[in-house]
């Protein structure tokens, strides 16, 4: 990788985009690594990068202002548009005294809701909701942003309302179609999630997307928005639907938890808990998703603090679209997309999936 710094960055980004990978990682004394169908591998025919090379690449990628911010705060989150309209999410951080990267390539187009890997009928119902809380959860890289962006895009195409997003950073750019779209980026357009959420009701939103419910204040704001008649979307880093509800309630002190359970029981509409599972042939991944629908029975379980009963309700709630993660993995196995070992590896309950596959 010889040549001027600009060419080095152009070459690196071109190879990243052309590699059909989702993520790019850089670190001192390592070659670039890319994630292809879930596996993190060295970029072919790439030399190790030293500290100076990574610093130069970082300056070119993020600019001098953001580079100074990185050196001051030791963290940097942003997103930007690169060649051919491709959008990337950038995280730069310091490890062992040197700069490292984690870049995510975002799909340049929204998925139609019938191609997300979620039940189309449920997605349509979600996009027609007028109020309530819709949560998309999962680990980093589980497709949460893609699911939310596609649902928001569907609303943008079919309704005449104000879509308002608060994100850190803005990942998918939405342009006004039938809806008027406002997108605020934390650190650029607003000081913090808390400040943006404090003011959002003055901005006449109909649909609000909160990039991440990361603490008590953002959870409180999401519940209030949903309770006051807004359709509210948010993400959470949880792997199960029941765990999601437990995490929200547990973020509040015990004295407030009965009220939060009441709010959640009244406002929750749907929880999608996602994983991207690699195919048996190694050429792609499929979405496995647990789906919790807030039926009257589920609302009562939340309100009465009987969360342990929700898993059983999901297993028997297939008629209204509910599904456990193990049921979703079983379907992928029966369709031939994943093998037994993969289904077991990604299962929440290992014993249950073994019985299902037998």
Q: What is the pLDDT of residue 2?
A: 42
Q: Pairing mode, if any, of strands 23-26 and 33-36?
A: antiparallel
Residue 175: alpha-carbon gap to chain centroid? 20
Count CB atoms within 10 A of the CB of residue 297: 13
Q: What is the pLDDT of residue 6?
A: 37
Residue 152's nearest CA partner among 169, 170, 168, 138 is 170
> Is-contact 69 169, C-beta < 8 A?
no
Q: What is the pLDDT of residue 82?
A: 81
* CA 351 vs CA 337, 344, 358: distances in Å: 21, 9, 11
Q: What is the pLDDT of residue 7?
A: 43
Look at residue 162 and give its three-state secondary structure: strand
- What's the mean pLDDT when you consider all of the chain? 93
69 has pLDDT over 90: yes
130 has pLDDT over 80: yes
Count CB atoms within 10 A of the CB of residue 159: 18
Q: What is the pLDDT of residue 94?
A: 96
Which residues are registered as beta bridge partners of 351? none
pLDDT band at 20 (very low <50, low <70, confident <90, very high): confident
Q: What is the pLDDT of residues 274-320, one digit of tens each?
A: 999 999 887 889 999 999 999 999 999 999 999 999 999 999 999 99
Global pTM value: 0.89
Outline where 159-287 has alpha helix (H). 193-199, 216-227, 241-250, 257-267
Separation of first and last alpha carbons in the chain: 52
Q: What is the pLDDT of residues 187-205, one digit of tens each?
A: 889 999 989 998 999 999 9
Q: What is the pLDDT of residues 334-356, one digit of tens each?
A: 999 999 999 999 998 999 999 99
User: Percent of the chain beyond pLDDT 90?
Assistant: 82
Alpha-carbon distance of 275 to 38, in angstroms, equals 11
In this prediction, residues 38-67 reach a mean pLDDT of 93
217 has pLDDT over 80: yes
Q: What is the pLDDT of residue 67?
A: 96
Which residues are registered as beta bridge partners of 278? 285
Residue 11's nearest CA partner among 82, 62, 67, 87 is 82
């Amino acid at each position: 990788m010889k040549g001027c710094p600009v060419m080095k960055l152009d070459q690196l980004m071109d190879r990243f985009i052309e590699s059909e990978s989702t993520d790019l990682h850089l670190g001192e004394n390592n070659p670039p690594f890319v994630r292809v169908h879930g596996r993190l591998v060295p970029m072919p025919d790439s030399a190790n990068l030293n500290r100076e090379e990574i610093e130069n690449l970082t300056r070119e990628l993020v600019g001098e202002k953001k580079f100074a911010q990185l050196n001051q705060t030791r963290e940097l989150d942003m997103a930007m548009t690169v060649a051919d309209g491709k959008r990337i999410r950038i995280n730069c951080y310091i490890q062992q005294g040197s700069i490292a990267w984690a870049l995510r390539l975002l799909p340049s187009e929204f998925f139609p809701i019938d191609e997300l890997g979620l039940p189309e009928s449920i997605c349509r119902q979600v996009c027609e909701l007028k109020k309530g809380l819709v949560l998309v959860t999962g680990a980093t890289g589980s497709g949460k942003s893609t699911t939310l962006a596609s649902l928001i895009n569907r609303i943008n195409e079919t309704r005449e309302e104000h879509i308002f997003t608060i994100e850190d950073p803005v990942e998918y750019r939405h342009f006004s179609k039938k809806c008027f779209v406002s997108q605020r980026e934390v650190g650029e357009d607003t000081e913090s999630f808390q400040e943006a959420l404090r003011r959002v009701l003055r901005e006449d939103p109909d649909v609000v997307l909160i990039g991440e419910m990361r603490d008590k204040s953002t959870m409180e704001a999401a519940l209030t928005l949903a309770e006051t008649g807004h359709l509210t979307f948010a993400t959470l880093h949880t792997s199960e639907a029941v765990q999601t509800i437990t995490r929200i309630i547990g973020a509040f002190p015990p004295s407030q938890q009965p009220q939060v359970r009441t709010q959640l029981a009244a406002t929750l509409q749907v929880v999608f808990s996602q994983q991207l599972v690699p195919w048996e042939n190694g050429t792609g991944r499929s979405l496995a998703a647990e789906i919790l629908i807030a039926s009257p029975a589920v609302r009562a379980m939340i309100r009465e603090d009987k969360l342990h009963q929700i898993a059983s309700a999901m297993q028997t709630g297939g008629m209204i679209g509910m599904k456990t993660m193990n049921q979703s993995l079983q379907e992928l196995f029966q369709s031939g997309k994943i093998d037994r070992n993969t289904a077991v590896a990604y299962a929440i309950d290992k014993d249950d999936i073994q019985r299902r596959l037998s």
